Structure 1
Amino acid sequence: MATDCEAWLNANPVGAEDLSDSFLSGDEDNGGISNKNINNEINGNWLLTSSNSIHEARLKAKAKRRLRKNSSRDSGRGDSLSDNGDSVRGTITAPTSPKSKLLDRKSRLGKGRGLPKKGGAGGKGVWGRSGEVYGPDKVDEKDPNYDEAQENCVYETVVPPLDERDFEKTVTPIVQEYFEHGDTNEVAELLAELNLGPMQSEVPSLAVSLALEAKASHRELTSRLLADLCGPVLTHNDMESSFDKVLRELPDLVLDTPGAPQLVGQFIARAVSDQILSKSYIDGYKGRVDCEYTRAALDRAAVLLKMSMGGLRIDNQWGTGGGQRPVMQLIKEMNLLLKEYILSGDSKEAERCLRDLEVPHFHHEFVYEAIVMVLESKGEKTFKMVLQLLKSLSESSIITIDQIRRGYERIYMDIAEINIDVPRAYFILEQFVDKSFSAGVINVKLRDLCPCRGRKRFISEGDGGVVKLESY
């Protein structure tokens, strides 16, 4: 490089003022560049005659390269430099971060009014402009996938029909749950949701077979269910075909339920009474029955129907129980049970009848009615028999201790009203409570709660013959 400079100097001699070692003038310090140095810059390289000028040119070129490199990175920030490397105070702008650029919804092309894109109504994952109402989509007939036959299509949920394998698994829980709540409307809704298909006529036979192994109250509920399902869900033909199946399966049903023929006969009689089976249903089997169980069931149904003509109510032929019946009906049946026991003296039969009522939560009413019967009786027979019955029921735990306690407490509360009709009620109650304690029916605490009638008594002569009332 030094050889090139010497060759150029020989071709272009310069004056002494150009070779001076003085620094730049004040104008150059302020950012200005003298005209004499303009010709010495070629393609950004300084060509000077002195070594000091060459060194200074190198520094300025290095500073200029550094400023060019930083200018692209710090564009718009703070100060800028002129072409000769001097700093020029520029307009200070706020720095912008890449995150803020991502969240900026303004156009980056410098177009538009700077509003959000599409007014906030477009883009991926948005619902559209607020207040916008979407109309039905119109079918484009020019669409290559357009099919004219699909315009009037109606789409529905198709439920496959139940087969014999799934029928019992699906319907059995519905019937068993009905035995708990007793709502026939819910069963009808659940069956309507199923596509029973050819298995529709199997519903009554399944319900009857489940009721044979259940309680008397469940059989009564089954009869009500069949009466309510006939019409909305099942037809009369379904009922007849279902009972035909039950009669054919009686030899198998007797293995699990020995009294199945009599119970099925009662179901048939109840169905005829509820008009879900025709009156000629039983007559259709005359002369065509070979099975002894089927004959026994049909004979039982025929006998019950004949008795109904004489005034027997078939709706009571189950001896049904449970808390779903009216309270007054339960009280009436308990009174009849007690009267029958007083006449027969069979405590085992009384226990069975009380158990068949299936109201263990209402046994306190039985204790109450039994004690009231003792208070209203005039002889010792009722006193001893009721005490013996309560002792037997307490020992067998048919009536719990809690139910006995509640029955006695109810008598204690109502003894004042009973005494109006029975003047000797307090005296008889005291004797009965003492005997009950001696027999182990009640405890000491319950015996001590027995109320005593207020009595009149005369005090000694010193009281002047004043009559005083004292209850003890």
Structure 2
Amino acid sequence: MLTADQRKIFEKTIKKRELASFGRKPSLGEITDNRWLDWHKGHKHVQVKVSGRGRKGDESAANVLVDDQSPVYALDKGDPNYDSTEDAEKTVFREKTLIQGSEAYDRVKAYKMASEATIEEYFDSNDIAEAGLRLRGLEEPLYEHFFVKKLITMALDRGNREKEAASALLSAFYPSVISGKQMMRGFVDLAASVHDLKLDVPDAIETISTFIARGVVDDILPPKFAEVTLAGDPTCQGPDAQTVASKASEQISQRFSTDRVLHAWGHFDKTPYEQAKTELEMLLKEYLESHDVTEARRRLHDLAKPFFHHELVKKALVMMIESDKDSNAPAILLGLLHVLNNSGEVSAVQMTKGFTRVGNLIEDLSLDVPNAKERFEEIKKLAHETETHVSVLIDDSDREAF
């Protein structure tokens, strides 16, 4: 079935055996109370030079002086992000250090506590209207950036559903509940604190960069927010914050970026079954474009549905059967299945289920691809020769849970 050139592509694919390191991030329950308190003590500083969102493509928003009507508070000079210096060649920041026990200090503390309670309730109810009423009821428009940062910070250590809910809430709140200026300040402060956040949430850099990319796609942040605002802000000059900026820019500039960023955490208007099917289809289509085996493995791991891997096998086989005669798709896709089989990421049972499902569909596939049966037989023969698939007996009564 494969030509000499296609055979080379297959062999090149199966040599890509780098095992990605998929570390499990600790839950908040595994973090000591002292570390949680230290986090609260170490994230008091808000120092930004960004202003209103401005028109799309307008980069002037990154260079507006902070004035007394939009104060910048540093609650703790021990904060690693604290910087009282002034650079004459750049924006001069007017800081106001809040003294513990002062009225302003108590107002900020009360606002943060009320914000946290609102976010907790929102994650439970998913009621955007109620969250908006509660936030407006606080009547503190100059503190809204605290809410933005707190919302994303609380979503970091939760599931994809909460991350998607956080992005949806910010999109709904802009600009009627949270102004463009406050939205940007919240994201800048979030990026500035990523060095500390990653101590509790190991994948904080990747997740925050995705939140920023999503903000750009949702049009609540300027198109050049990552590469202009974050890259140039004095509080975001640390290596971790700069990595966030570069990763966010990379996500936005990639092919198929809009759809991928919009659905980075799933399709929550669909059932789990439909979400998984959509994600697997996107995985295979983008893999055919990029040939990035490691990325495909990472995404399959993140899907966290090992008992549904037969759907990946089925979709890959159907793509092979439906591909053009001279297409390299069969070699590329079979190479991926070979790697996943050899690494154990797709079990022999799941591989067999996938092949069996396609066998049951072959008559339907023949309506669109007249030689579907012959092509499928060729694929099975090649899979057997390359030890990509060896049939195993499946107890039909053993229905693995989705």
Q: TM-score, normalised by structure 2?
A: 0.50
From the CA coordinates, give the structure whose radius of gyration is larger. 1
